[in-house]
C-alpha cells in the first residue's frame, strides 16, 4: 500500500527555554503559551502558520476533539460552513510563535467535495475513527485514498476517539479493535493514538507530537501498547 512521503522539516526552533512560570514541559520541549487570536498576526515576523486537516466519518467526535484542543480560542478563531469547520490555535514553543489552522471535514458524502481544499498544503492529516465502531475504522482507507490525491507529504496520524466509551467494552473486543487499529496504522505508516475529548486524553499530546516532528524537537513519550490504557504506538 502506498504511504505518505516523508514530511518536510521546518526551521529549527531555539533550544529549550523556560516558560512564563520558569518550567519546561515533561514531554521534551517547552510548555506552550497561547496567544490571543485577535492579535494582528501580520505584524509578527516570527509567526509560523501551518495547516492541519481532520478526516473521518460523521459522529465520531472530530468536532469535540478539536474544540477540546482549541479551548478558549475557539470563540474568536472558529469559522464554520456546512461540511467544513475551521479553527485556529496559536501557541509559543521555545520562543517560536506557531499558528495552527485546523480544517475539519464533515463525515457525510457531500463533504467529500471539501477534501481537496482541506488537504492541500496541510503539514499533517489526522485520520480519525470511533473506537467503539469498527465501521468507522474500516472507512479509514477510503479517507486516506481521498487525501492522498491532494497531499502526499503531510504527516499521517491515526486517532481513535471516545476512549472513555471504549474501555467499557468487553476486554476481548478491546483486544480485537486495538489489534486491527495497529494494523491500519502500519498500513498508513502512521502513529496511532487512542484519545478522549471528554477526559482530555492524548488530545494535546497529539498536537505536541506533530510539533515535535515538524520542528525536529525531542520526543520522550514512550509507546504504550497495554490494552485497557490509551494506546500510543509509533
In a domain, 123, yes or no: yes
Alpha helical stretches, state H, 41-95: 62-70, 74-77
In a domain, 10, yes or no: no
Q: What is the pLDDT of residue 1?
A: 37
In a domain, 20, yes or no: no
Copy the grid coordinates of residue 72.
478558549
Q: What is the pLDDT of residue 154?
A: 96
In a domain, 112, yes or no: yes
In this structure, what DSSP letter does residue 81 have?
Answer: E
List of residues 6+ apart from 161 with CB closer than 8 A: 60, 61, 62, 64, 65, 128, 129, 130, 131, 195, 196, 197
In a domain, 103, yes or no: yes
In a domain, 216, yes or no: yes
Name residues of the chain where pLDDT drops below 50. 1-43, 77
Q: Which of 201, 7, 211 is nearest to 90 (CA)?
A: 211
Domain, as residue range, for 153: 47-233
Q: What is the pLDDT of residue 25?
A: 39
Does the pTM surpass 0.95? The reply is: no
Q: What is the pLDDT of residue 48?
A: 85
In a domain, 39, yes or no: no
Q: Which of 53, 123, 48 is nearest to 92 (CA)?
A: 48
In this structure, what DSSP letter does residue 201 have?
Answer: B
Structural domain count of the chain: 1
In a domain, 11, yes or no: no
CATH number for the domain including 154? 3.40.50.300
Amino acid at each position: 500500500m502506498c504511504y505518505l512521503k516523508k514530511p518536510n522539516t521546518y526551521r529549527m526552533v531555539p533550544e529549550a527555554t523556560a516558560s512564563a512560570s520558569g518550567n519546561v514541559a515533561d514531554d521534551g520541549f517547552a510548555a506552550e503559551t497561547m496567544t490571543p487570536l485577535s492579535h494582528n498576526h501580520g505584524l509578527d515576523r516570527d509567526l509560523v502558520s501551518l495547516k492541519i486537516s481532520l478526516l473521518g466519518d460523521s459522529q465520531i467526535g472530530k468536532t469535540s476533539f478539536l474544540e477540546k484542543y482549541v479551548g478558549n480560542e475557539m470563540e474568536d478563531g472558529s469559522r464554520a460552513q456546512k461540511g467544513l469547520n475551521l479553527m485556529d490555535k496559536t501557541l509559543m514553543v521555545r520562543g517560536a510563535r506557531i499558528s495552527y489552522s485546523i480544517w475539519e471535514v464533515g463525515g457525510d458524502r457531500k463533504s467529500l467535495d471539501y477534501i481537496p481544499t482541506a488537504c492541500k498544503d496541510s503539514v499533517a492529516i489526522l485520520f480519525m475513527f470511533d473506537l467503539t465502531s469498527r465501521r468507522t475504522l474500516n472507512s479509514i482507507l477510503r479517507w486516506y485514498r481521498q487525501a492522498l490525491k491532494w497531499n502526499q507529504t503531510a504527516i499521517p496520524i491515526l486517532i481513535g476517539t471516545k476512549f472513555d466509551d471504549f474501555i467499557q467494552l468487553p476486554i476481548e473486543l478491546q483486544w480485537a479493535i486495538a489489534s486491527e487499529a495497529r494494523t491500519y496504522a502500519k498500513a498508513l505508516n502512521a502513529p496511532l493514538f487512542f484519545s478522549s475529548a471528554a477526559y482530555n486524553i492524548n488530545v494535546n499530546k497529539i498536537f505536541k507530537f506533530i510539533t515535535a516532528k515538524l520542528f525536529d524537537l525531542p520526543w520522550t513519550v514512550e509507546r504504550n501498547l497495554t490494552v485497557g490504557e490509551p494506546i500510543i504506538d509509533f
